[in-house]
Structure 1
Amino acid sequence: MSGTAGTQGECRAEKETEEEIIQRCISHLDTDYSCRLAKQMEREKTNPVLGFRTAGSHAEKATGDFLYEEMRSIGLTEVQKEEFWLDSWTFERAVLRFKDSSGKEYTCQLGAYQTNFETDGFQEYELVYVGRGTAADYKNLDVRGKLVLADINQRDEWWINYPVYQAYLKGAVGLIAVQMQGYGEVDQEALNAQDIAGPEYAPAFSISRRDAALLKDRFCENEKSVMVELDACSRVERNRPAYNITGKIPGTETDQMILLSAHYDSYFDGFQDDNCAVSMTIGIAKALLESGYRPRHTIVICALAAEEWGVCDSKYDWSTGAWNQVFRIHPEWQGKVLADLNFELPAHAHSSRDAIRCTYEYADFLKKFADEIAVPEDAYPDGLTVLAPIETWSDDFSMAIAGIPSTVNDFSAGPFMETHYHSQYDNEEIYQENVYRFHHELYTRLLLKLDTLIFPPLDFSHLFRKMHSSVSARMAEQDEEDLQGVMQTLIRETEQAERTAEELYEWIEKSQIVCPVAAKSGEDISQRLLGIFRKGQDYFVRLNWQDEVLFPHEAASNNICYLNQAVQALEEGEIEEALKALYEVDNNCYAFLFDEEVYYHFTEYILHQPKDRLMWGAGRILHHENLYGIVKRLRKLESQQAEHGQIPDLEEEIRRLQAAQRRQRAYLTDDIRYMTESVKKMQKMMEASLQEIKDYRIE
C-alpha cells in the first residue's frame, strides 16, 4: 500500500494543529529586531557621504562578514561565505566644484556609475552641456578631453549606456547625467544610480537637478562651456572575489530545501533596497529557531552579493550573485529546492494592493494560499493578489531559470520606483512598520505551508494555457497558409499538454500530505517534477530587448506586426507612421539618435559575447532585425518630404522591409516548430511523472 494512507495527524501524531504551529512561529517575529539589523547594515560604505555598498567592494565584504556572524549568533547551522568571482566596483568619491552665476564657489556631491575615473585631488576640466546626449546634440561641439553634462530619462527613453558611450566616442573624458524624469523624482536634490550596462572605460557620474540647474545657468548663447573642478575615485576591477552568505535550519525528514533570499549590496544606504529584505529573512529564521520549529525540509537563508551589478559591459549586468549561487556555486541545488522566496523593498507599500509575483507554474498554488490570508487594511486596503510570470528586475529570475520555482514580493509597479528608488532618499523615513510586519507574517505562513509539502506544487497547465492563448492570438495575424498550419499544430499539442498538466497537478495536490516514512520515497518524483520545470524555463522563457519575459514566438510575431504596419504606411506615403512602427522592432528605437557604432556595440554585445558575461540573459534573445540604415534613410527622406512637399520614391525602402518580413516569418516558423517539439518533450515527461505519482499513491 502507499505510504500516504492516513492523515497528517495520524502520521505525525502532532499535538498542535497546523494553525497553532503557525501562531507559535509568528509570535516570535520581531520587526524591531529586523529594522535594527537593516540599519546596522548601513555602517559599511565606500563613500562616506553617500553610502554605497557595491559589488566586490570592501564595504560589501565587511557587510557580508557582519551578516555571517549574525546568522551564526541566531543559531543557523552550516553558515558559510560562498566565494564567486565578478567584476568589482568601488565608488569612493565624486565632488564637483564650480562657480555659480553670481560668482560664488559651489561644491556638490555627485553619484556615480560602474566605470573607471580617478583624479589626484581636484582637477580642472571644461564642462560642455550636450542636451540629451544624442549624436545630433554634438553638432558643432568639440568635447575632446572635456566633461559633458547631459539630461536623461532612463525610465521612459534610453538607458544611461547610450549617451555615455556616445560621449566616449566623441572624445569626452566623462559624462555627468541628470535624471530629468523617470527616476529620483522625490526631490530636486535627489541623486540617482543604476547599473551602467556598458563598458567600464566610458566614465559616467550623476548630478542632482538642483545642482545641474546651477551649472546650466552658466551656459548662454555665447558661452557653451564652463570650467569646473572634479575630485573623483570610481574604480572597476575585473575578476575579483565576492561572497554570498548562507545559513541553514536543517530539515528533519527530507533532503529538499526552501530558500529565503535577498541581496545585501546597495546604492546609497539601501534601507529598503535591500537591507530590510535581508534582515527580514534573518528575522523570520530567528523566529522559527526561537519557537522551536523543526522543519521537514531544510530552510536556507541566502544573503546574496552583487544584485545591483557585477559584470562589465553586459546588458544583463545585475543579479550576479544569485546567478553564480545556482549556476556555479551550487548547481546541485537544481532539483532539490521546492521554492525560492526572494524579497525586495518589503517595508514599504508600493500599491494599495499587495502582490506575490511568481512563475506561471506556482500561480494556482499561491492564489489558493493568498485567498486564505487576512490582509490588514491599514497596510493594503485592496488586499493581496498573485501575478505571473516573474520579471527580470530581481534575483528570482536567475533562480527560476536554474530550475528553482521562485517568487518575489511585487515592488516594481508603484510610484516608489520613480521617486525614491536608487537614491539617497531610500532611507528609514519611508519605513512602514505595518507593511513590514505583514510581510514577516505573510511569508512565514507561506514558508510553513511549503514545508508541509512533499512535492513542488507545479501546475504546468497555467504555462500551456498562456502559451495557447498567445499563439492563437498571433495565428489570426498571419496570412500564410503554411505558417498557420504549423501554429495550429502547436495549438493542438499545447491543448493536449494542458490536459495532462491538469491531471498531473490534481495528483500532486492529492499526494502532498504524507507520513514521514513516505517522505524520502517522494523525493525522486519531486526531483523529476523540478526537472520538468527547468526544461520549461529552457524551452519557453525568452526576453525582448526591453528585458520583458515572453514566449519564443512572440519576438518575431511582434516584429512582423510592426513591419507590416511600416510597409503599409510607406505604400501610402506616410513616412512618419512607418518610422513609428519601425521603432518598435527589436532595439531599433534609438537607431536614429546615436552613432552607428553606439547602436552596434549595444546590439553585438548581446548576440556575440561569452555566456558567462551574459549570465541569465544568455540565449534569451535569438534573432535581431537591424534597421539602422533604413531608419536613417527614411528620416532623411522625411525631411526632404517636409521641405519640398512631395512624396519621394519609396520602392527601395518597401523592398527592404519586405525582405525583413520574410526573414521574420522564417524565424517565426522555426520558433513555432521548436516550441512544438519542446511541448511534445514536456508532454512525455509529464506523462512519466503522472504515472510515478499514481504508483506512489496506489499499490
Structure 2
Amino acid sequence: MTMQEAVIKNIDTDYSYQLAKRMEQFHSNEKLGYRPAGSKAEFLTGEMLKDEMQKLGLSDVCKNAVTVDGWEFKNAELTFETKEGKRHTALLGAYQTDFVTDGEQAFSLMYLGKGTEADYEGKDVTGKLVLVDINQRDEWWINYPVYQAHLKGAAAVIAVQCGGYGEVDAKALNAQDIAGPEDAPAFSISREDAALLRELLDGEKEATVWLKADSRVKRDCTTYNISGCIPGKHPERMVLLSAHYDSYFSGFQDDNTAVAMMFGIAKTLIESGFKPNNTIVFCAMAAEEWGVVDSNFDWSTGAYEQIFTAHPEWVGKVIADLNFELPALAHGTRARIRCCYEYVHYIKEYLDGLPELTKAYPEMTSVTAPIETWSDDFSMAIAGIPSMVNDFTGGSFMETHYHSQFDNDDFYDEAVYRLHHELFTLLILALDETAVVPLDFTPVLERILAGGSEITAKVEETQEQIAAITKKLIQVTEEAQEKAKQSYEETAAINTRYHALLAEGNMQEAEQLFAENREREKQLLVKFKQEQDHFVRIDWYGEVFFPHEILWKNIGLLQDSVNALEQSDVDKALEKIYQVDNNAYAFMFDEYVYRHFTDYVFNQPKDRLKWGYGRLLGHEDLYHVVKCLLKKRKEADTDYREELHYLKECYKKQTRRLCETLKEISQTVKEMF
C-alpha cells in the first residue's frame, strides 16, 4: 500500500467532527457561546487542544505566549414591555467593547435609523441607548455608527442587521470585530426583537427599557497559540498547518471544524506510519479576531504575533503554511485552494496529479490567487512564509449563518469535510517530497504587467511622464518574466529528480541532491519576502492590490471628478469622490468620526497596526470637499473653483506618487531577477 493510499484509508472525519463539537464546551456566555481573544474560555480550549496534541503523539507540544487585547462577554439582555403590555426579554449579542451594569439598569431608548450624522439632528441621546440598522456588507462597518453615537453621548448602540449578515433567520444575532475604541459600547439584537421595539416606539420618541450586561475588555493580556509537530529527517525545513480556535457564538464552522481537521490530519499521518522528510508543524492560533482594540487591523492578531514575535525564526524554514477556515460546508460549486501567486503553478500541477477523491462538488477543485487579508495566512505570507487556505468566500454562508448563533452543525457536510481532509493531507505528502520550495514568480510579474498595460491603454497625452515610466516598467518586467520562468523550470526538474530518487529508495543520492539545493531554496524564500515587502498593499477596505493599481485607480477617480465638476455635474463628481480611499464615510458621519478612523491607521505604533503597518499608500483627505459640494448642491450653488483647485492638487500628488512607485517597482524587479 502506498503512503497516499494509507492516508486516504486512515482519514477519520468522525474524529474531527467530535473534536469540533467538544470545543463548544468552553464559552464565555452561557446562552450564546463566544470564545473571544484572551478570554478564560479561549484559555481552557487551548489547554484541551494541548492535551489532545499530546494524546495524538505529537512532539514538542507547547504553548506560545502572545499578547492581545482580551475580551470577556458574559451576558447581555434587554427587557421591555411590548405594545401589548407583556414583559419581553431580548437576548443580545455583543461586540468587543466595555459595558457592565449592576443588575438590570433602566435606560431610555431611541431609534436613530442608520445612525449617521444626519440622524442625530435635533435629537438628544445623552445617556440613552440608540437602536440603529446596520448592513456591514453593502454599506459601512459598525464602528462608524457606534463611534458617532459615542461622540453624541449615547450610553450604547443596539444594532440590528438589515441585510449583509445574519440573513438566515429573523432571530439571528450577529457580531463582527468592532475595529473601534472599547469605550464606545455596542450590542446586537435580532430583527424579530427589534421589530417589537419599533412597534413600541411607534409614535413615540423614546421608550424605557432595562439592560443587564457584562462585557469587559482588557488591554495587553496574554493568550496562547498551541503547537506540536511530527519531527522530520530535516528538522530545519518545515511545513506548517494552522487554524484559529477563538470564535463567535458556538463557532462550529468558524473555526472549530478547521482546528479539528488539522488535528484529524495529524492523527491520519501518525496512524499511517508517515515518516516525513521535513518537520510537520501543527499550530492552533488564538485571537484571529478581536485581538487589538481601536485598530483598523484588529484580526489575525494571534497569527501575526506567532510569526513576528513568538517564532520569527520560522521565516526561511517554513516552505508553506496550510491554513484552514470553515472546511465542513460547500462554498460554491467547487472546492478551491486560495494561495499566494508564487504557489499557483505548483498547486495546479498537484491538483492535476491527484487520484480520485471524494465526490463532494459538481466541479473539479481549482486554485485561485492571491491570498486575502480575511484569514491568518495573510500574516504568515507578509512575514515571508508562502501560504494558502481552503477558499471559503463563495456561497451564501457568509451572508446567512456566519458569525451568528446559526453557525452550528446543521450546515455540516461530511463529504466536503472529507474532501478537504484528503486534499490537504495529500498536499503535505507532495510538499514533503520537494527538495526546493516550488515557487514560481511569473504570476506576480504577470500582475505587474497587467497593471502596467492598463495604465498604457488609458494614459492621456498630458501624462507623458507616466507613459514613459510605465513603458520602462513593462520592458524590465517582461525580461524578468523569462528568467522567472526558467528558474521555476529548473526548480521543477530538481523536485522531479528528488521525488524519483525517494521512490527508488536511493536515499544517499536524494540527500546529496537536497543538500546541494539549500542555497537555491534560501534565495527563493528571500525573493518571496522581497515581493511581499514591495508589492503587497491593501486599500482602505482590506482588499489586496499592487501599489500602482491603487494609485492609478485614484488618479482616474480624481480626474473624473474634476471633469464632472468642470461640466457642473456635481452628482457624478460626488459619485467618484465616494470611491477615493475611505471618503465614502465623509458623506454619512461627522468630522470627528472620519478623522478618528483615518488617523488611527497612521498615528499608532507598529505593534497596534500589526499586519496593516505600512500597507496603505497614504490618504487623500476629501472630507471638506464632500461637505462643501453637498452643501452647494442643496443650495444650487455652482461655484466649484475651490473644490476644483483642491482636487487638482490631489491629482498631481497621486501622479507624482505613481511615478515614484513605478520606478521603485522597476528597480525591485530588476534587482530580484
TM-score class normalised by the smaller sequence: over 0.9
Q: Taking structure 1 as reference, are residues 323 and 94 closer, same or farther at Cα in structure 2, changes over 3 Å only?
A: same
Secondary structure of the 2:200 match is coil
Identify the residue that residue 502 of structure 2 maps to in structure 1. Answer: none
Superimposed CA distance per residue, residues 92-123 of structure 1 (whole angstroms, 9 cap, x where no aligned partner): 00011011111100001100000000011110
Identify the residue that residue 653 of structure 1 maps to in structure 2. Answer: 643
Answer whether contact 1:623 1:667 (CA < 8 A) is retained.
no
**TM-score after normalising by structure 1:** 0.93
The answer to whether residue 365 in structure 2 is matched with residue 384 in structure 1 is yes
Q: Distance in 2 between matches of 1:353 and 1:462?
A: 22
Identify the residue that residue 550 of structure 2 maps to in structure 1. Answer: 555
Q: For residue 361 of structure 1, what is the amino acid of its counterpart?
A: E
Q: Distance in 2 between matches of 1:334 and 1:127?
A: 52
Q: What RMSD over aligned residues (CA atoms) do the two structures have, in Å? A: 1.2
Deviation of 1:671 (Å): 1.2
**1:12-411, aligned counterparts within 5 Å?**
20-221=2-203, 223-373=204-354, 378-411=359-392
Q: For residue 133 of structure 1, what is the amino acid of its counterpart?
A: G
The answer to whether residue 500 in structure 2 is matched with residue 539 in structure 1 is no
Identify the residue that residue 451 of structure 1 maps to in structure 2. Answer: 432
- Structure 2's unaligned 5+ residue stretches are 499-509
Q: Distance in 2 between matches of 1:355 and 1:55?
A: 29
Identify the residue that residue 622 of structure 1 maps to in structure 2. Answer: 617
Identify the residue that residue 505 of structure 2 maps to in structure 1. Answer: none
Q: Distance in 1 between matches of 2:377 and 2:591?
A: 35
Superimposed CA distance per residue, residues 638-694 of structure 1 (whole angstroms, 9 cap, x where no aligned partner): 1122xxxxx6122222222111111110111111111112112212xxxxxxxxxxx
Identify the residue that residue 564 of structure 2 maps to in structure 1. Answer: 569
Secondary structure of the 2:45 match is helix
Q: For residue 242 of structure 2, what is the amino acid of its counterpart?
A: S
Superimposed CA distance per residue, residues 330-368 of structure 1 (whole angstroms, 9 cap, x where no aligned partner): 100000111000000000001111111000000011112
Answer whether contact 2:357 2:422 (CA < 8 A) is retained.
no
Answer whether contact 1:553 1:668 (CA < 8 A) is retained.
yes
Q: Distance in 2 between matches of 1:118 and 1:471?
A: 54
Deviation of 1:372 (Å): 3.1
Aligned mate of 2:408, from 427, 442, 449: 427
Identify the residue that residue 697 of structure 1 maps to in structure 2. Answer: none
Superimposed CA distance per residue, residues 65-100 of structure 1 (whole angstroms, 9 cap, x where no aligned partner): 000000000100000011011110110000110111
Aligned mate of 1:503, from 479, 483, 486: 486
Answer whether contact 2:60 2:228 (CA < 8 A) is retained.
yes
Deviation of 1:254 (Å): 5.0
Deviation of 1:378 (Å): 5.0
Count, aligned residues: 659
Answer whether contact 1:253 1:519 (CA < 8 A) is retained.
no
Identity among equivalent positions (%) equals: 53
- Structure 1's unaligned 5+ residue stretches are 1-15, 642-646, 684-699
Q: For residue 499 of structure 1, what is the amino acid of its counterpart?
A: E
Answer whether contact 2:340 2:370 (CA < 8 A) is retained.
yes
Q: For residue 643 of structure 2, what is the amino acid of its counterpart?
A: E
Deviation of 1:517 (Å): 3.5
Q: Distance in 1 between matches of 2:480 and 2:267?
A: 43
Q: Distance in 1 between matches of 2:366 and 2:530?
A: 27
Q: Distance in 1 between matches of 2:643 and 2:432?
A: 60
Identify the residue that residue 504 of structure 2 maps to in structure 1. Answer: none
Q: Distance in 1 between matches of 2:601 and 2:456?
A: 29
Answer whether contact 1:265 1:308 (CA < 8 A) is retained.
yes
Q: Distance in 2 between matches of 1:518 and 1:149?
A: 66
Q: Distance in 2 between matches of 1:451 and 1:552?
A: 34
Moved more, 469-478 or 603-612: 469-478
Q: For residue 536 of structure 1, what is the amino acid of its counterpart?
A: E
Answer whether contact 2:358 2:418 (CA < 8 A) is retained.
no
Superimposed CA distance per residue, residues 301-333 of structure 1 (whole angstroms, 9 cap, x where no aligned partner): 010000022001001000011001111011000
Identify the residue that residue 471 of structure 2 maps to in structure 1. Answer: 488
Aligned mate of 1:676, from 666, 669, 673: 666
Q: For residue 244 of structure 2, what is the amino acid of its counterpart?
A: H
Q: Taking structure 1 as reference, are residues 570 and 375 closer, same or farther at Cα in structure 2, changes over 3 Å only?
A: farther
Answer whether contact 2:435 2:514 (CA < 8 A) is retained.
yes
Answer whether contact 2:242 2:259 (CA < 8 A) is retained.
yes
Q: Distance in 2 between matches of 1:466 and 1:412?
A: 22
Answer whether contact 1:254 1:520 (CA < 8 A) is retained.
no
Secondary structure of the 1:255 match is strand
